[in-house]
Amino acid sequence: MVVKPESEGKTPAGAVELKAAAFTLPVIHLFDTDMDGVAEQLGTKMDQAPEFFRNTPVVVDLSALPPRASDIQFPLLVGLLRGYGMIPVGVRGGNAFQNQAAEVMELAIMGEATISNPGQATAEPVPKPAAQAAEQAPGTIKPSSGRTSKLVTQPVRSGQRVYAMGGDLSVVGPVSSGAELLADGNIHVYGPLRGRAMAGMSGDAEARIFCQALEAELVSVAGRYRVSERIPDVLKGIPVQIFLDQEILRIEKL
């Protein structure tokens, strides 16, 4: 008689563990159901930064569409996004009919909390009355109305992506190679910037990138970008600011 160990043929107790988690994902806001127009505008964005969204999971936001916009061609939309190298994983902000059509394409129905990033402190904007704003001392720099800010107090490691939607991003620490910083507003890095930094994601040409030591793989403002090979050696490893000057990306010492 052959005696087999008790563990043979059994699944180890620690083979699988389910935990709740949240991630920051890029969101594509859909304003029209005309797939030709969507393809044209996406093509323009991809030409500006072809590697930016490659193999990146994205969420499609439907909240800006008219309530009765039920003719979204999800098969074409999903194929279009995949054709540009993106991986559509879900939708948010849709009505019942739109969500049902999205589920047919195996897209997840996501809420606002699903794509947030815990551990990042986000300061929500507090509207100020006009009278209170007028009382500010002369010469005071006022923040842009409606703009939020996100503060990261830990190093951003390779493979991590942090997105400050609708505002500025500040990182107190180093950013490793392979990490990505994205912001609709400005980006501040109080440490070495070795990954990718993309400010003005929503098209804000006034956005800027500030860092203590520029060692980035790629920097971009409002779609204008420059890779490491095109950054002069004299500007590497020192504090700089990066901004647009008449649609030309400039890098200057601080």
**Which H or E run includes 103?**
helix 96-104
In angstroms, the CA 105 to CA 237 distance is: 47
Task: Give the tens place of pLDDT for each residue, 211-231.
Answer: 999 999 889 898 788 888 889
Domain assignment present for 142: no
Among 211, 238, 242, which residue's Cα sits nearest to residue 225?
242
200 located within any domain = yes
In a domain, 140, yes or no: no
The whole-number pLDDT of residue 67 equals: 67
- 137 inside domain: no
For the stretch 45-94, pLDDT in tens is 777 666 667 778 888 998 888 766 557 888 888 888 888 888 889 998 88
Per-residue confidence (pLDDT) for residue 112, from 0 to 100: 61
Residue 235's pLDDT band, with cuts at 50, 70 and 90, is very high
CATH of the domain at 181: 2.160.20.70
How many structural domains comprise the chain? Answer: 2
In a domain, 134, yes or no: no
Domain for residue 222, yes or no? yes
**CA geometry: angle 31, 27, 24, nearest 5 deg:** 165
Domain of 35, CATH number, reads 3.30.70.260
Q: What is the residue range of 180's domain?
A: 147-253
pLDDT tens digit sequence for 126-181: 333 333 333 343 333 333 445 678 999 999 998 888 888 889 999 999 999 989 89
In a shared domain, residues 111 and 151: no
Whole-prediction pTM: 0.49
158 within some domain: yes
| Residue range 3-56, pLDDT digits in tens | 555 545 555 567 887 775 656 677 888 888 888 888 888 887 777 666 667 778
10 domain-assigned: no
Whether residue 236 has pLDDT greater than 90: yes
Which of the listed residues 95, 115, 135 is the one where a domain comes to its end?
A: 115
Which of 49-63, 101-115, 180-194 has the highest average model confidence (pLDDT)? 180-194
Could you say which of 115, 135, 158 is where a domain stops?
Answer: 115
Do residues 160 and 240 both lie within one domain? yes
Tell me, yes or no, whether 169 and 218 share the same domain: yes
Residues 99 and 179 in one domain: no
pLDDT given for residue 44 in this prediction? 78
pLDDT at 139: 36
- For residues 236 and 156, membership in a common domain is answered with yes
- Residue 46's SS3 state is helix
